């Protein structure tokens, strides 16, 4: 049985036809709506190769409702002309006729009628000619008869302007036999059912083909935040490289551990109110390791350990000031201090990834808090070459292989180097991290042996993530204003895989 009576009719006609048939013509022949034939074509198409249908669009002129009325009853001006008797008609009366207004002015401009304004009971309208040709009606009748091409372009457009004629596009199908043509099409099954399996009926049944272009239904699921997925990958990289994670679960830090222990002088601009969040409550650290504090104080104010020092009056009050840590290096300092207290010295590799805080002016790439990634290696006889070697391995795991190093200045590392990588997308060298060898003035007061060097590097978690995913505004990535759809849609984080090209011009 065919898929509905129309489809069945269509198949029979097609079988008898010579090559193919047009859906609109078929509809006309069968005296049914074109849409019904189109429906049958589509349902047969879904069966596979039974028929072939080619979509054709043809343009045609059709009369509007008003056009049809005129083709039937004559143009307005003709109707006005006909309604005027030889003795004339009062204009006011004429205007009351259905075609009065339009017909009057047209008939006037055709010079079929005239108005006598001197008549006793108001203006009267008289015929000027005895008879006339209703061209408009004739033309419309031509179109109605399917002979629109007999009209000139100008005539057609005039009729269209009068809204009597419209050009319509008709979409029809040219239907021909497909490779699996048959007039006896059976109804297809949509899905396999348990009954079919148990009865074995699936063997004899045809199945409706799937539309593989349609989207599937996404599973209900939870999602991980993209930035924290990147964090997981960085943790993984450090663990693969044998680095141990430092505790960083203390956002509040004393100025001592955040600055002084790192040999950052007390007048350093980073310690300014404009750059750092200080605390009102608790305003001061309650305990500091006073022995060590004394050594730090001496190194700042007088020097020592081979250093000239900064030669200024170092103040304990300043060191006690609590703040929101401005870098995780404060946690590294604590870890190294703890390491120094363990004798004998054992080499370590440390890392951390956690939040840091800056009282900065906020913009598209800066927030008051961000994540810092930090790596530290402490061992005897480490060199700048070692630092670069470790950085090369680290960045290779991120999929970054083209590196170069620029001399730089950090208060607590010397030598210091900024790490640049060539960004293929941006076609320029971009800074990807900062690194250096911790100053002896930082390490020796802690009690670390003199021949131990500590190399370290740091970068932000947000910046490489933004570059990687082509995110231009950090607020689209971090904080409560992010679009959850972005979280839902974010792919796996595979740092060493080629990134998708950024959707917009520049991410840096």
Interacting residues with another protein between 212 and 251 (CB under 8 A): 220-225, 227-228, 232, 235, 238-239, 241-251
Lookup: tokens for 206? 């045809």
Q: Judged by CB under 8 A, which stretch of 145-153, 165-173, 204-212, 277-285 contacts another protein?
A: 277-285
Q: What is the DSSP letter of 189?
A: B
Largest CA distance in the chain: 133
Sheet holding 51-63, edge to edge: 21-22, 165-177, 51-63
Question: Interaction with another protein in 445-464: which residues (CB under 8 A)?
Answer: 453, 455
The least CB distance from residue 502 to another protein, in Å, is 21
Q: Does 279 bind another protein (CB under 8 A)?
A: yes
- Residue 74 or 464 having the CB closest to another protein: 464
Lookup: tokens for 130? 């005895």
Beta-strand runs (E) in 316-384? 322-324, 348-357, 369-380
Judged by CB under 8 A, the residue of 441, 465, 474, 495 near another protein is 441
Question: Interaction with another protein in 27-66: which residues (CB under 8 A)?
Answer: none
Q: Does 347 bind another protein (CB under 8 A)?
A: yes
* 3-state DSSP of 313-328: CCCHHHHHEEEECCCC
In terms of DSSP bridges, do strands 244-245 and 348-357 run parallel, antiparallel, or are they unpaired?
parallel
Lookup: tokens for 358? 């800056």
Report the C-alpha gap between 184 and 201 in whole angstroms.
20
Report the C-alpha gap between 340 and 446 in whole angstroms.
6
Question: Interaction with another protein in 359-398: which residues (CB under 8 A)?
Answer: 359, 367-369, 377, 379, 381-386, 388-390, 392-393
Q: How many residues bind another protein (CB under 8 A)?
A: 100
Q: Match 């009209």 to its residue by tokens.
A: 151
Judged by CB under 8 A, the residue of 28, 283, 364, 497 near another protein is 283
The least CB distance from residue 223 to another protein, in Å, is 4
The least CB distance from residue 323 to another protein, in Å, is 9
- Residue 182 or 359 having the CB closest to another protein: 359
Judged by CB under 8 A, the residue of 81, 112, 259, 310 near another protein is 310
Sheet holding 113-116, edge to edge: 89-90, 124-127, 113-116
- 227 upstream amide cis, omega within 30 of 0: no
The least CB distance from residue 382 to another protein, in Å, is 6
Encoded one letter per residue, x for contact with another protein by CB under 8 A and - for no contact, window 246-275 reads: xxxxxxxxx------------x-x---x--
The least CB distance from residue 326 to another protein, in Å, is 13
Encoded one letter per residue, x for contact with another protein by CB under 8 A and - for no contact, window 406-435 reads: xxxx----xxxx------------------
- Tell me if residue 294 falls in helix, strand or coil: helix
- Residue 152 or 389 having the CB closest to another protein: 389
The least CB distance from residue 430 to another protein, in Å, is 12
- Residue 200 or 381 having the CB closest to another protein: 381
Lookup: tokens for 450? 């003199």
The least CB distance from residue 400 to another protein, in Å, is 14
Q: Residue 119: how many CA atoms within 13 Å on its side-chain side?
A: 16
Number of Cβ within a 10 Å radius of residue 251: 14
The least CB distance from residue 265 to another protein, in Å, is 10
Q: Does 287 bind another protein (CB under 8 A)?
A: yes
Q: Does 483 bind another protein (CB under 8 A)?
A: yes
Report the C-alpha gap between 432 and 350 in whole angstroms.
20
Residue 72 neighbours by CB under 8 Å, 6+ apart:
none
């Amino acid at each position: 049985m065919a898929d509905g009576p129309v489809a069945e009719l269509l198949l029979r006609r097609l079988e008898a036809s010579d090559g193919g048939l047009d859906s609109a013509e078929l509809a006309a022949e069968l005296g049914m709506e074109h849409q019904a034939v189109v429906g049958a074509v589509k349902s047969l198409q879904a069966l596979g190769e039974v028929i072939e249908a080619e979509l054709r669009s043809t343009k045609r002129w059709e009369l509007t409702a008003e056009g049809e009325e005129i083709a039937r009853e004559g143009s307005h001006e003709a109707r006005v002309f006909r309604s005027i008797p030889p003795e004339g008609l009062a204009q006011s009366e004429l205007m009351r006729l259905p075609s009065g207004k339009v017909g009057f002015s047209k008939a006037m401009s055709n010079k079929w009628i005239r108005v006598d304004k001197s008549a006793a009971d108001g203006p009267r309208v008289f015929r000027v000619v005895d008879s006339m040709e209703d061209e408009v009606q004739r033309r419309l009748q031509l179109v109605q008869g399917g002979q629109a091409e007999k009209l000139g372009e100008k005539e057609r457009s005039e009729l269209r302007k009068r809204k009597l004629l419209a050009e319509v596009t008709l979409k029809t199908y040219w239907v021909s036999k497909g490779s699996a043509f048959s007039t006896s099409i059976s109804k297809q099954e949509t899905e396999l059912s348990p009954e079919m399996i148990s009865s074995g009926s699936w063997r004899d049944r045809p199945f409706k083909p799937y539309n593989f272009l349609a989207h599937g239904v996404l599973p209900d699921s939870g999602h991980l935040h993209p930035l924290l997925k990147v964090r997981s990958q960085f943790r993984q990289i450090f663990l693969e490289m044998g680095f141990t994670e430092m505790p960083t679960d203390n956002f509040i830090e004393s100025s001592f551990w955040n600055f002084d222990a790192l040999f950052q002088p007390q007048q350093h601009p980073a310690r300014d109110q404009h750059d750092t969040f200080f605390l009102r409550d608790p305003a001061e650290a309650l305990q500091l390791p006073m022995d060590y504090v004394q050594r730090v104080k001496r190194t700042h104010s007088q020097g020592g350990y081979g250093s000239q020092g900064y030669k200024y009056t170092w103040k304990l009050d300043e060191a006690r000031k609590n703040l929101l840590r401005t870098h995780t290096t404060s946690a590294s300092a604590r870890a190294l201090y703890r390491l120094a207290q363990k004798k004998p010295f054992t080499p370590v590799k440390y890392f951390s990834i956690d939040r840091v805080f800056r009282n900065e002016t906020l913009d598209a790439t800066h927030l008051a808090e961000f994540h810092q990634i930090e790596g530290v290696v402490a061992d005897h006889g480490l060199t700048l070459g070692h630092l670069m070697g470790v950085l090369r391995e680290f960045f290779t795991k991120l999929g970054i292989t083209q590196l170069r190093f620029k001399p730089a200045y950090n208060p607590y590392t010397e030598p210091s180097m900024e790490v640049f990588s060539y960004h293929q997308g941006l076609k320029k060298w971009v800074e990807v991290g900062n690194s250096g060898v911790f100053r002896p003035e930082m390490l020796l007061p802690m009690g670390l042996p003199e021949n131990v060097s500590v190399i370290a590097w740091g970068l932000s978690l947000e910046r490489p993530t933004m570059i990687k995913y082509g995110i231009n505004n950090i607020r689209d990535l971090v904080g409560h204003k992010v679009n959850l759809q972005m979280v839902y849609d974010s792919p796996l984080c595979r740092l060493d895989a080629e990134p998708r090209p950024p959707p917009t011009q520049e991410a840096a």
